[in-house]
Amino acid sequence: MNAGNGDEHDFTELRDLLFPERAQLDEINEHIRNLSVRAGDVSEVLPDAIVRRGQDASLRTALAPTLVEALRVSVRKDPSLLADALFPMIGAAVRRAVAAALADMTDSLNKVVESSLSVRGIQWRFEALRTGKSFGEVALTRSLLYRVEQVFLIHGASGLLLQHAMSPAAVVKDPDMVSGMLTAIQDFVHDSFGAAENALDTMRVGEFSVWVQHGPRALLAGVVRGTAPPGLNAVFSTAIEAIHRDYGSELAAFDGDAAPFAATKDILDRCLLGQAPAERRRSYAWLYLAGALVLLLVGTWTAWTVLDARDRQRWSDYLSAVDKEPGIKVTRQERRGGKYLVSGLRDPLSPDPAQLLARFHIAPDRVTFQWEKYLSLAPAFAADREFSQLKDAVDHHVVLFPEGQSAITPLQALSVVTVAQHIRRILEMPGKPVTVELAGHADMVGTAPNNERLAEERASAVKAALVEYGIDPSKMTTRSSVILTSQSMTSRSVTFEVLPVGQ
């Protein structure tokens, strides 16, 4: 027996020498038979294998029945798992569907209230234009007055208060007591009426209402004073969804310590919305109208005063200018209904006062003049008047000749002396440059050449006599004419005419 064991031992040693891989083969055999080891090997390569075959339709076809069955079994075993996962997404989808329905309702309401022409309605229309909302939506929102005074975050399973937010104007009781009472009311509704655990979503107490939004592990309750718009539900839904999304693990592991939920205070504060009633304002339309009327009257009076002052100033300046004109004396002036009456004394040689009106922008039809004639003693007028008298005397002076004669007789010499004195005085006057024209005349008696010659001789004889009396010959001119009649002595004469230089 001992020899047999030795032989076997020797055989084993010989086999190990001849087949050194035997140990490795045993290890591989053991590895293949051990299911747990094989599962570990598969887990190491499975992710890479799935990634590599991810685009292969056969892999999706093979895995689909298994995944569907696994999901079905999981939902039957614990539906809350799927509800917790989908809660944040489903809430948003439902709100979008509700928003679409509300939009249709708002459009219908818009057609009803668009005809409103009240002052508030006009204000809402401006707000709709400014914000891009429809008029019906603005009207619906602005017609509901409310204020969210308190918001509670309550753990769903235990009913304990996790966090609390309140409006500054709210009257606050013990938040934990309120949370406990709300939980008790929910339990009462469930136990008494067989309703679902999350069936209670609103309740009203006097002027307050409590709006409740349920989540898988917590609920949010808002205490509202007044009538809030339907859109407030969406605000609460968004808040509870955000809390489950950001604090889902803390809610699942809640053990009575509310410290992890202190940061949810910011989310709750965003739910403290409200709208105060519009402040009734007194109508000051009458005051504005009276003020506008006063401003209009003041403006009109100011404008009239300015225009009247300017008109009076122009008139005053005009009268001053008229008074400075020589030969005019204004004795009275008055204003009658926007027109003026001027009366006084005026020398015929003075300028016409009506010609000065245009310089001062005064319409001629606004002024009536009443002048009395008088002779001014102003030096300028005295000289003009003397010149006028002397000119008139020279222009009407006639030196007569006997028939057929051109020589100056002693009697004619006296007449020439007189006219010479007038001419000398005219020529001596400053600022009166003139020439004197001597016209010799003859009648039709005799031949025409003789009569023409006789007329020229008579004019030349008078001019020579005037030169002897000191008249400058350059200041005189002569001409002759034959008068077609013999019945007048002026047909045998010399006449005079004072003419301005250059004429």
Q: What is residue 423's predicted lDDT score, i.e. its pLDDT?
A: 95
Check if the beta carbon of residue 477 is closer than 8 Å to that of residue 498.
no
Closest to 304 measured CA to CA, from 277, 338, 329? 338
DSSP 98-145: HHHHHHHHHHHHHHHHTT--SHHHHHHHHHHHHH---HHHHHHHHT--
CATH value of 380-500 in 3.40.50.970, 1.10.287.110, 3.30.1330.60, 3.30.70.260: 3.30.1330.60
pLDDT band, very low/low/confident/very high, at 435 (cuts 50, 70, 90): very high
Residue-level length of the chain: 503
Closest to 240 measured CA to CA, from 259, 264, 262? 264
State the amino acid at position 483 in one-letter form.
Answer: I
Closest to 366 measured CA to CA, from 415, 320, 312, 327? 312
Q: What is residue 472's predicted lDDT score, i.e. its pLDDT?
A: 94
Closest to 223 measured CA to CA, from 172, 186, 280, 189? 172
Q: What is residue 1's predicted lDDT score, i.e. its pLDDT?
A: 46
User: In this structure, what are the phi and psi dihedrals at residue 148, rounded to the nearest 5 degrees?
Assistant: -80, 115
Q: What is residue 115's predicted lDDT score, i.e. its pLDDT?
A: 47
Q: What is residue 386's predicted lDDT score, i.e. its pLDDT?
A: 87
Q: Which residue has the tokens 């999981």?
A: 74
Assess whether pLDDT exceeds 90 at residue 461: yes
Q: What is residue 497's predicted lDDT score, i.e. its pLDDT?
A: 95
Cα-based torsion angle of the residue sequence 419, 421, 427, 430 in order, rounded to the nearest 10 degrees: -130
Q: What percent of the chain has pLDDT over 90?
A: 15
The fold of the 83-170+191-251+259-275 domain, in CATH, is Beta-Lactamase (3.30.450)
Residue 226 or residue 195, greater confidence:
226
Supply the mean pLDDT for the chain: 78
Distances in whole angstroms, Cα of residue 455 to Cα of each of 401, 438, 462: 10, 11, 11
Closest to 234 measured CA to CA, from 424, 146, 102? 102
Sketch the domain layout of the chain as residue ranges: 1-37, 83-170+191-251+259-275, 295-373, 380-500
Tell me the C-alpha distance between 321 and 323, whole Å.
5
CATH value of 295-373 in 3.30.300, 2.60.40, 3.40.1350, 3.30.70: 3.30.300
Q: What is residue 198's predicted lDDT score, i.e. its pLDDT?
A: 59
Tell me the C-alpha distance between 430 and 376, whole Å.
20
Q: What is residue 399's predicted lDDT score, i.e. its pLDDT?
A: 94
What digits encode the pLDDT tens for the residues 215-274? Answer: 888 888 888 887 777 778 888 888 888 988 889 888 888 888 888 888 888 898 888 887
pLDDT band, very low/low/confident/very high, at 463 (cuts 50, 70, 90): very high
State the amino acid at position 341 in one-letter form.
Answer: L
Q: What is residue 199's predicted lDDT score, i.e. its pLDDT?
A: 56
- 3-state SS record for 239-306: HHHHHHHHCHHHHHCCCCCCHHHHHHHHHHHCCCCEECCCCCCCCCHHHHHHHHHHHHHHHHHHHHHH
Other C-beta atoms closer than 10 Å to the C-beta of 274 total 16
Q: What is residue 233's predicted lDDT score, i.e. its pLDDT?
A: 82
Q: What number of helices (H) and strands (E) belong to the chain?
A: 15, 13
Assess whether pLDDT exceeds 60 at residue 46: yes
Q: What is residue 112's predicted lDDT score, i.e. its pLDDT?
A: 46
pLDDT band, very low/low/confident/very high, at 108 (cuts 50, 70, 90): very low
Residue 231: half-sphere exposure toward Cβ, Cα within 13 Å: 17
What digits encode the pLDDT tens for the residues 441-460? Answer: 998 888 888 999 999 999 99
369 - beta bridge partners?
A: 342
Assess whether pLDDT exceeds 80 at residue 144: no
Q: Provide the CA 101 distance to its chain's centre, in angstroms.
A: 40
Q: What is residue 437's predicted lDDT score, i.e. its pLDDT?
A: 95
226 - beta bridge partners?
A: 146
Tell me the C-alpha distance between 204 and 223, whole Å.
9
Distances in whole angstroms, Cα of residue 354 to Cα of each of 318, 322, 361: 10, 10, 12
Q: What is residue 214's predicted lDDT score, i.e. its pLDDT?
A: 86
Under DSSP, the state recorded for 264 is G
> What sign does the dihedral 154-155-156-158 (CA atoms) show?
negative
Other C-beta atoms closer than 10 Å to the C-beta of 65 total 9
User: In this structure, what are the phi and psi dihedrals at residue 56, rounded to the nearest 5 degrees?
Assistant: -85, 120
Check if the beta carbon of residue 166 is closer than 8 Å to that of residue 149.
yes
Tell me the C-alpha distance between 41 and 45, whole Å.
7
CA end-to-end span of the chain, whole Å? 187
Mean pLDDT in residue range 116-135: 72
* Domain pair 295-373 / 380-500, same fold: no
Tell me the C-alpha distance between 121 and 478, whole Å.
104
